[in-house]
Chains A and B, each alone.
Chain A
Amino acid sequence: MKKEPVRISELPANTRNGNFDEVISGYTEEEALCEAKRCIQCKKPFCTEGCPVGIDIKTFIGQITNKDYAGAYHTIRQKNNFPSICGRVCPAEYQCRKACILTKRGQPFASNEAINIHFLERFIGDYGMKNNLAAASVKNPRLSGKKVAVVGSGPAGLCCAGELSRQGIQVTIFESLHKTGGVLRYGIPPFRLPRNILDFEIESLRRQGVRIETNFIIGKAQTVAELLAEGYAAVFLGLGAGVPSFLGVPGENLCNIYSANEFLTRINLMGAYKFPEYHTPVNIGKHIVVIGGGNTAMDAARFALRMQIMNGIEPNTTVVYRRSEVELPARRLEIEHAKEEGVTFNLLVQPLAFTGDENGYVQKMKCLKCELGEPDASGRRKPVPIKGSEFELDCDVAVLAIGLKANILLTSVTPELKVDKYGDVTVTPETMETSIKHVYAGGDIVGGEGTVIEAMGMAKRASRAIIDDLARSSGAHV
Chain B
Amino acid sequence: MRIIAKDTLVNTQGVRITKIVVTSKHIAAKAQPGQFVVLMKAETSERIPLTVVDTDKNAGTITLIFQELGFSTKLFGTMNAGDSFYAVVGPLGHATEIKRYGNVILVGGGVGIAEIYPVARSLKNAGNTVTTILGSRTKDLLILENELRAHSDHFFVTTDDGSYGRKGFTTDVLKELLSKSAYDLIYVVGPVPMMRKAAMTTKEFNARTVVSLNALMVDATGMCGGCRVTVGNEAKFACVDGPEFDAHQVDWDELTKRNRVYDQKEKHLCNLHKQ
B240 & A275 in contact (Cβ 8 Å cutoff)? no
Interchain CB contact (< 8 A) of A216 among B44, B89, B266: B89
Take A276-B268, A360-B254 as given contacts and tell me if A217 and B225 are in contact as well, using a CB distance cutoff of 8 Å.
no
Q: Which A residues are in CB contact (< 8 Å) with B235?
A: 246, 252-253
Take A242-B221, A244-B225 as given contacts and tell me if A279 and B269 are in contact as well, using a CB distance cutoff of 8 Å.
yes
Q: Is A381 an interface residue (CB 8 A)?
A: no
Q: Is B71 an interface residue (CB 8 A)?
A: yes
Q: Is A167 an interface residue (CB 8 A)?
A: no
Q: Is B46 an interface residue (CB 8 A)?
A: yes
B82 → A minimal CB distance (Å): 20
Task: Mark the stretch among A23-31, A258-266, A337-345 that contacts chain B.
Answer: A258-266
A265 & B228 in contact (Cβ 8 Å cutoff)? no
Q: Is A78 an interface residue (CB 8 A)?
A: no
Interchain CB contact (< 8 A) of A217 among B44, B71, B90: B90
A276 & B269 in contact (Cβ 8 Å cutoff)? yes
> 0/1 per residue, A261-292, Cβ < 8 Å to B?
11001100011001111111101000000000
Q: Which A residues are in CB contact (< 8 Å) with B218?
A: 262, 265-266, 270, 280
Interchain CB contact (< 8 A) of B45 among A279, A361, A408: A279
Please tell me the size bucket of the interface on A. Answer: 35 or more
Take A178-B40, A253-B228 as given contacts and tell me if A279 and B219 are in contact as well, using a CB distance cutoff of 8 Å.
no
A220 & B92 in contact (Cβ 8 Å cutoff)? yes
B257 & A176 in contact (Cβ 8 Å cutoff)? no
Q: Is A222 an interface residue (CB 8 A)?
A: yes
A397 → B minimal CB distance (Å): 11
B261 & A279 in contact (Cβ 8 Å cutoff)? no
Q: By the criterion of a CB under 8 Å from any partner CB, how many residues of chain B are at the interface?
A: 45
User: Chain B interface mostly helix, strand, loop or mixed?
Assistant: mixed
B219 & A177 in contact (Cβ 8 Å cutoff)? yes
> 0/1 per residue, A225-252, Cβ < 8 Å to B?
0000000000000000011101000001
Q: Chain A residue with minimal CB distance to B44?
A: A278
B38 → A minimal CB distance (Å): 9
Take A252-B235, A262-B218, A409-B240 as given contacts and tell me if A215 and B89 are in contact as well, using a CB distance cutoff of 8 Å.
yes
Q: Which A residues are in CB contact (< 8 Å) with B225?
A: 243-244, 246, 259, 261-262
Q: Chain B residue with minimal CB distance to A404?
A: B223
- Show the binding face of A for B, using Cβ within 8 Å: 176-178, 186, 214-217, 220-222, 242-244, 246, 252-253, 255-256, 258-259, 261-262, 265-266, 270-271, 274-281, 283, 359-361, 407-409
* Top-4 shortest CB links A-B: A360-B257, A262-B224, A281-B265, A221-B26
Of the A-B pairs whose beta carbons lie under 8 Å apart in the complex, a sample of 19, sorted by A's number, is: A178-B43, A214-B87, A217-B90, A217-B92, A220-B30, A221-B90, A243-B223, A246-B225, A253-B230, A261-B224, A262-B226, A265-B218, A275-B269, A276-B265, A276-B268, A359-B260, A360-B258, A361-B261, A409-B222
